[in-house]
Protein backbone atom coordinates (compact mmCIF):
# COMPACT_ATOMS: atom_id res chain seq x y z
CA UNK A 1 0.00 0.00 0.00
CA UNK A 2 1.34 3.38 -1.02
CA UNK A 3 1.51 5.97 1.77
CA UNK A 4 2.09 9.62 0.81
CA UNK A 5 4.60 11.04 3.28
CA UNK A 6 6.05 13.91 1.24
CA UNK A 7 4.77 16.27 -1.44
CA UNK A 8 6.50 18.83 -3.63
CA UNK A 9 3.90 20.27 -5.97
CA UNK A 10 4.12 23.43 -8.06
CA UNK A 11 0.57 24.71 -8.35
CA UNK A 12 -0.42 27.76 -10.44
CA UNK A 13 0.17 31.02 -8.51
CA UNK A 14 1.80 29.11 -5.65
CA UNK A 15 3.60 31.50 -3.28
CA UNK A 16 4.93 29.21 -0.58
CA UNK A 17 4.71 25.79 1.07
CA UNK A 18 4.37 25.10 4.79
CA UNK A 19 5.13 21.54 5.88
CA UNK A 20 3.49 20.65 9.19
CA UNK A 21 3.56 17.43 11.14
CA UNK A 22 0.87 15.91 8.94
CA UNK A 23 -0.33 18.57 6.49
CA UNK A 24 1.45 20.26 3.58
CA UNK A 25 -0.15 23.66 3.09
CA UNK A 26 0.30 25.43 -0.25
CA UNK A 27 -0.24 29.20 -0.31
CA UNK A 28 -2.02 30.08 -3.55
CA UNK A 29 -1.71 33.74 -4.54
CA UNK A 30 -1.91 34.80 -0.84
CA UNK A 31 -5.68 34.29 -1.15
CA UNK A 32 -6.25 30.56 -0.93
CA UNK A 33 -4.68 27.49 0.64
CA UNK A 34 -4.46 23.98 -0.75
CA UNK A 35 -4.07 21.66 2.24
CA UNK A 36 -2.72 18.22 1.37
CA UNK A 37 -3.37 15.81 4.22
CA UNK A 38 -0.46 13.39 4.01
CA UNK A 39 -0.27 9.88 5.43
CA UNK A 40 2.32 10.96 7.98
CA UNK A 41 1.47 10.27 11.60
CA UNK A 42 2.73 12.10 14.67
CA UNK A 43 2.59 11.37 18.37
CA UNK A 44 4.12 13.27 21.28
CA UNK A 45 4.81 15.98 18.68
CA UNK A 46 7.17 13.63 16.81
CA UNK A 47 6.55 12.52 13.22
CA UNK A 48 6.88 8.74 13.17
CA UNK A 49 9.13 7.13 10.55
CA UNK A 50 6.42 5.37 8.51
CA UNK A 51 3.26 6.65 6.90
CA UNK A 52 -0.17 5.09 7.41
CA UNK A 53 -2.00 4.13 4.19
CA UNK A 54 -5.35 5.95 3.69
CA UNK A 55 -4.87 8.04 6.83
CA UNK A 56 -4.74 11.28 4.87
CA UNK A 57 -7.91 10.43 2.97
CA UNK A 58 -9.68 9.51 6.22
CA UNK A 59 -8.70 12.74 7.96
CA UNK A 60 -9.48 14.97 5.00
CA UNK A 61 -12.89 13.48 4.34
CA UNK A 62 -13.99 13.43 8.00
CA UNK A 63 -12.90 17.06 8.43
CA UNK A 64 -14.76 18.09 5.26
CA UNK A 65 -17.98 16.47 6.51
CA UNK A 66 -17.75 18.18 9.90
CA UNK A 67 -16.87 21.54 8.40
CA UNK A 68 -20.06 21.29 6.36
CA UNK A 69 -22.06 20.11 9.39
CA UNK A 70 -20.99 23.07 11.55
CA UNK A 71 -21.04 25.89 8.98
CA UNK A 72 -24.17 27.34 10.60
CA UNK A 73 -22.23 27.94 13.87
CA UNK A 74 -19.49 30.04 12.25
CA UNK A 75 -17.92 30.40 8.82
CA UNK A 76 -15.04 28.09 7.95
CA UNK A 77 -12.19 28.15 5.49
CA UNK A 78 -13.30 25.25 3.25
CA UNK A 79 -14.22 25.92 -0.38
CA UNK A 80 -13.88 22.45 -1.94
CA UNK A 81 -12.27 19.01 -1.68
CA UNK A 82 -11.01 18.48 -5.23
CA UNK A 83 -9.10 15.33 -4.23
CA UNK A 84 -9.73 12.75 -1.49
CA UNK A 85 -6.59 13.96 0.30
CA UNK A 86 -6.91 17.71 -0.33
CA UNK A 87 -9.06 20.61 0.83
CA UNK A 88 -8.82 24.03 -0.82
CA UNK A 89 -10.03 27.02 1.11
CA UNK A 90 -9.62 30.62 2.14
CA UNK A 91 -6.29 31.81 3.50
CA UNK A 92 -6.76 33.15 7.03
CA UNK A 93 -4.38 34.57 9.62
CA UNK A 94 -4.31 31.88 12.28
CA UNK A 95 -4.56 32.63 15.98
CA UNK A 96 -1.47 31.55 17.94
CA UNK A 97 -3.47 29.28 20.23
CA UNK A 98 -5.34 26.01 19.84
CA UNK A 99 -8.61 25.60 21.69
CA UNK A 100 -8.81 22.23 23.44
CA UNK A 101 -12.26 21.24 24.70
CA UNK A 102 -12.50 18.35 27.15
CA UNK A 103 -15.72 16.65 28.15
CA UNK A 104 -14.02 13.83 30.07
CA UNK A 105 -10.90 13.36 32.21
CA UNK A 106 -8.75 11.39 29.77
CA UNK A 107 -5.38 11.30 28.06
CA UNK A 108 -2.85 13.92 29.12
CA UNK A 109 -5.39 15.58 31.44
CA UNK A 110 -5.77 12.31 33.35
CA UNK A 111 -1.99 11.82 33.50
CA UNK A 112 -1.60 15.28 35.07
CA UNK A 113 -4.54 14.74 37.41
CA UNK A 114 -3.15 11.37 38.53
CA UNK A 115 0.16 13.11 39.29
CA UNK A 116 -1.65 15.51 41.64
CA UNK A 117 -2.65 18.48 39.47
CA UNK A 118 -6.00 20.02 40.35
CA UNK A 119 -5.93 22.84 37.83
CA UNK A 120 -5.40 22.59 34.08
CA UNK A 121 -4.68 25.74 32.08
CA UNK A 122 -6.06 27.73 35.00
CA UNK A 123 -9.28 25.68 35.11
CA UNK A 124 -9.98 24.08 38.52
CA UNK A 125 -10.65 20.32 38.44
CA UNK A 126 -13.01 18.57 40.91
CA UNK A 127 -11.55 16.31 43.58
CA UNK A 128 -12.14 12.58 43.55
CA UNK A 129 -12.42 12.04 39.82
CA UNK A 130 -11.38 8.82 38.11
CA UNK A 131 -9.94 8.21 34.66
CA UNK A 132 -12.41 8.79 31.80
CA UNK A 133 -15.06 10.30 34.08
CA UNK A 134 -17.28 12.99 32.56
CA UNK A 135 -16.74 16.57 33.72
CA UNK A 136 -19.82 18.37 35.10
CA UNK A 137 -19.56 20.63 32.05
CA UNK A 138 -16.97 20.66 29.23
CA UNK A 139 -13.84 22.68 29.96
CA UNK A 140 -11.59 24.69 27.63
CA UNK A 141 -7.84 24.11 28.10
CA UNK A 142 -5.96 26.07 25.40
CA UNK A 143 -2.41 25.48 24.24
CA UNK A 144 0.08 27.63 22.42
CA UNK A 145 0.50 26.70 18.77
CA UNK A 146 4.14 25.79 18.28
CA UNK A 147 5.68 25.85 14.79
CA UNK A 148 8.18 23.28 16.03
CA UNK A 149 8.35 21.06 19.10
CA UNK A 150 5.73 20.78 21.80
CA UNK A 151 2.60 22.85 22.19
CA UNK A 152 2.39 24.21 25.75
CA UNK A 153 -0.61 24.50 28.04
CA UNK A 154 -1.60 28.10 28.73
CA UNK A 155 -4.38 29.77 30.68
CA UNK A 156 -7.02 32.15 29.39
CA UNK A 157 -5.59 34.87 31.62
CA UNK A 158 -2.07 34.44 30.25
CA UNK A 159 -3.29 34.45 26.65
CA UNK A 160 -5.02 37.78 27.18
CA UNK A 161 -2.29 39.29 29.39
CA UNK A 162 0.47 38.55 26.87
CA UNK A 163 -1.62 39.75 23.94
CA UNK A 164 -1.64 36.43 22.07
CA UNK A 165 -5.37 37.00 21.56
CA UNK A 166 -7.51 39.98 22.57
CA UNK A 167 -10.09 39.41 25.29
CA UNK A 168 -12.94 40.07 22.87
CA UNK A 169 -11.63 37.56 20.35
CA UNK A 170 -10.76 34.99 23.01
CA UNK A 171 -14.22 35.11 24.53
CA UNK A 172 -15.66 34.52 21.06
CA UNK A 173 -13.27 31.63 20.45
CA UNK A 174 -14.46 29.99 23.67
CA UNK A 175 -18.10 30.39 22.69
CA UNK A 176 -17.46 28.94 19.24
CA UNK A 177 -15.40 26.08 20.66
CA UNK A 178 -18.09 25.02 23.13
CA UNK A 179 -20.81 25.26 20.47
CA UNK A 180 -18.74 23.14 18.06
CA UNK A 181 -18.09 20.58 20.79
CA UNK A 182 -21.80 20.38 21.56
CA UNK A 183 -22.57 19.79 17.88
CA UNK A 184 -19.83 17.16 17.62
CA UNK A 185 -21.15 15.47 20.76
CA UNK A 186 -24.66 15.28 19.30
CA UNK A 187 -23.44 13.85 15.98
CA UNK A 188 -21.23 11.29 17.72
CA UNK A 189 -24.09 10.19 19.99
CA UNK A 190 -26.24 9.39 16.98
CA UNK A 191 -23.48 7.00 15.85
CA UNK A 192 -23.06 5.33 19.25
CA UNK A 193 -19.92 7.27 20.11
CA UNK A 194 -18.84 9.72 22.81
CA UNK A 195 -16.76 12.76 21.80
CA UNK A 196 -14.31 12.85 24.70
CA UNK A 197 -12.06 15.78 23.78
CA UNK A 198 -10.93 17.65 20.71
CA UNK A 199 -9.07 20.70 19.48
CA UNK A 200 -10.09 23.59 17.26
CA UNK A 201 -8.06 26.14 15.36
CA UNK A 202 -9.32 29.52 14.26
CA UNK A 203 -8.13 32.33 12.05
CA UNK A 204 -9.17 35.78 10.88
CA UNK A 205 -9.88 37.10 7.41
CA UNK A 206 -11.15 40.61 6.75
CA UNK A 207 -11.81 41.05 10.46
CA UNK A 208 -14.03 37.95 10.71
CA UNK A 209 -13.25 34.78 12.67
CA UNK A 210 -13.18 31.52 10.70
CA UNK A 211 -12.81 27.90 11.75
CA UNK A 212 -9.70 26.56 10.01
CA UNK A 213 -7.70 23.35 9.66
CA UNK A 214 -9.36 20.02 10.58
CA UNK A 215 -12.25 19.23 12.92
CA UNK A 216 -13.40 16.13 14.80
CA UNK A 217 -10.90 13.75 13.18
CA UNK A 218 -9.07 10.98 15.07
CA UNK A 219 -5.91 13.10 14.95
CA UNK A 220 -7.56 15.99 16.76
CA UNK A 221 -10.20 14.15 18.80
CA UNK A 222 -10.76 11.22 21.11
CA UNK A 223 -13.89 9.07 20.84
CA UNK A 224 -15.22 6.34 23.16
CA UNK A 225 -17.84 3.78 22.25
CA UNK A 226 -20.98 4.70 24.19
CA UNK A 227 -22.00 1.05 24.58
CA UNK A 228 -20.39 -0.26 27.77
CA UNK A 229 -18.95 3.12 28.83
CA UNK A 230 -20.64 3.23 32.26
CA UNK A 231 -19.86 -0.42 33.03
CA UNK A 232 -16.19 -0.02 32.14
CA UNK A 233 -15.98 3.21 34.14
CA UNK A 234 -17.47 1.50 37.22
CA UNK A 235 -14.99 -1.36 36.95
CA UNK A 236 -12.02 0.95 36.37
CA UNK A 237 -11.34 -0.60 32.97
CA UNK A 238 -9.95 1.04 29.86
CA UNK A 239 -12.61 2.40 27.53
CA UNK A 240 -13.00 1.12 23.99
CA UNK A 241 -11.95 4.11 21.98
CA UNK A 242 -11.40 5.35 18.47
CA UNK A 243 -8.62 7.91 18.53
CA UNK A 244 -4.89 8.26 18.15
CA UNK A 245 -4.48 7.43 21.85
CA UNK A 246 -3.91 3.76 20.99
CA UNK A 247 -0.82 4.85 19.01
CA UNK A 248 0.47 6.81 22.01
CA UNK A 249 -0.19 3.84 24.28
CA UNK A 250 1.70 1.51 21.94
CA UNK A 251 4.63 3.94 21.93
CA UNK A 252 4.59 4.30 25.73
CA UNK A 253 4.42 0.51 26.16
CA UNK A 254 7.58 0.38 24.06
CA UNK A 255 9.44 3.05 26.01
CA UNK A 256 8.80 6.13 23.86
CA UNK A 257 7.18 9.41 24.94
CA UNK A 258 9.03 11.82 22.69
CA UNK A 259 11.68 12.59 25.29
CA UNK A 260 15.32 13.25 24.48
CA UNK A 261 17.32 10.09 23.97
CA UNK A 262 14.29 7.87 23.36
CA UNK A 263 13.94 5.96 20.10
CA UNK A 264 10.73 5.25 18.21
CA UNK A 265 10.05 1.50 18.34
CA UNK A 266 10.08 -0.45 15.09
CA UNK A 267 6.92 0.07 13.07
CA UNK A 268 6.33 -3.34 11.53
CA UNK A 269 3.94 -3.85 8.63
CA UNK A 270 1.46 -5.39 11.07
CA UNK A 271 1.56 -2.28 13.27
CA UNK A 272 1.21 0.05 10.27
CA UNK A 273 -1.72 -1.93 8.85
CA UNK A 274 -3.48 -2.13 12.20
CA UNK A 275 -3.25 1.65 12.60
CA UNK A 276 -4.63 2.10 9.08
CA UNK A 277 -7.54 -0.21 9.90
CA UNK A 278 -8.34 1.75 13.07
CA UNK A 279 -8.48 5.02 11.12
CA UNK A 280 -10.83 3.48 8.57
CA UNK A 281 -12.94 2.06 11.41
CA UNK A 282 -13.37 5.51 12.92
CA UNK A 283 -14.32 6.97 9.55
CA UNK A 284 -17.09 4.42 9.14
CA UNK A 285 -18.37 4.83 12.69
CA UNK A 286 -18.39 8.61 12.81
CA UNK A 287 -19.80 9.12 9.30
CA UNK A 288 -22.07 6.08 9.18
CA UNK A 289 -20.81 5.44 5.65
CA UNK A 290 -18.51 2.76 4.18
CA UNK A 291 -15.00 4.00 3.45
CA UNK A 292 -14.17 4.05 -0.26
CA UNK A 293 -10.43 3.64 -0.77
CA UNK A 294 -9.17 6.01 -3.45
CA UNK A 295 -7.33 3.35 -5.43
CA UNK A 296 -8.29 4.62 -8.86
CA UNK A 297 -4.80 5.84 -9.71
CA UNK A 298 -1.42 4.09 -9.41
CA UNK A 299 0.34 7.48 -9.04
CA UNK A 300 -1.42 9.27 -6.17
CA UNK A 301 0.83 12.33 -6.35
CA UNK A 302 0.00 12.81 -10.05
CA UNK A 303 -3.71 12.44 -9.25
CA UNK A 304 -3.50 15.09 -6.55
CA UNK A 305 -1.62 17.54 -8.76
CA UNK A 306 -4.09 17.02 -11.61
CA UNK A 307 -7.23 17.36 -9.46
CA UNK A 308 -6.05 20.36 -7.47
CA UNK A 309 -4.65 22.15 -10.50
CA UNK A 310 -7.98 21.76 -12.34
CA UNK A 311 -9.90 23.20 -9.38
CA UNK A 312 -7.54 26.13 -8.86
CA UNK A 313 -8.03 27.07 -12.51
CA UNK A 314 -11.69 27.76 -11.68
CA UNK A 315 -10.94 30.30 -8.93
Report if residue 136 sits inside a domain. yes
Task: Give long-range contacts, CB 8 A cutoff, 24+ apart: 134-139.
Answer: 134/103, 134/104, 135/102, 135/103, 135/104, 135/105, 138/101, 138/102, 138/103, 138/178, 138/181, 138/182, 139/101, 139/102
Report if residue 291 sits inside a domain. no
Name the phi and psi angles at 214, rounded to 5.
-100, 170
Helix (H, G, I), strand (E, B) or coil at 60: helix
CATH of the domain at 170: 3.30.470.20
Report if residue 2 sits inside a domain. no
Report if residue 292 sits inside a domain. no
Report if residue 110 sits inside a domain. yes
45-62 pLDDT tens trace: 899 999 999 999 999 999
Give dist(CA 274, CA 83) in Å, integer: 25
Q: Pick the closest to residue 308 from 40, 33, 3 (CA basis).
A: 33
**Which parts of the chain sit beneath pLDDT 50?**
none
217-232 pLDDT tens trace: 988 899 999 999 999 9
Q: Provide the pLDDT for residue 147.
A: 61
Q: Which range of residues forms the domain containing residue 228? A: 96-243
Report if residue 209 sits inside a domain. yes
Going from the C-alpha of 59 to that of each of 13, 23, 29, 74, 232, the distances in angstroms are 26, 10, 25, 21, 28
Q: Provide the pLDDT for residue 45.
A: 83
**Overall domain count for the chain:** 1
Report if residue 142 sits inside a domain. yes
Give dist(CA 194, CA 104) in Å, integer: 10
Report if residue 289 sits inside a domain. no
Q: Pick the closest to residue 52 from 278, 308, 287 (CA basis).
A: 278
Amino acid sequence: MNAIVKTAFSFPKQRSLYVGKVRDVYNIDDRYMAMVVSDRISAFDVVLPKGIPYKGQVLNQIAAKFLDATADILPNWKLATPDPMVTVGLKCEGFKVEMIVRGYLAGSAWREYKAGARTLCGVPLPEGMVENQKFPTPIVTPTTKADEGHDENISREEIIRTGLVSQEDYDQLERYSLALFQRGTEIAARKGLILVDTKYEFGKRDGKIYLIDEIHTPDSSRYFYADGYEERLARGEHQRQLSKEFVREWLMDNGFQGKEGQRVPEMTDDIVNSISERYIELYEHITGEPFQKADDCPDVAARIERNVGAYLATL
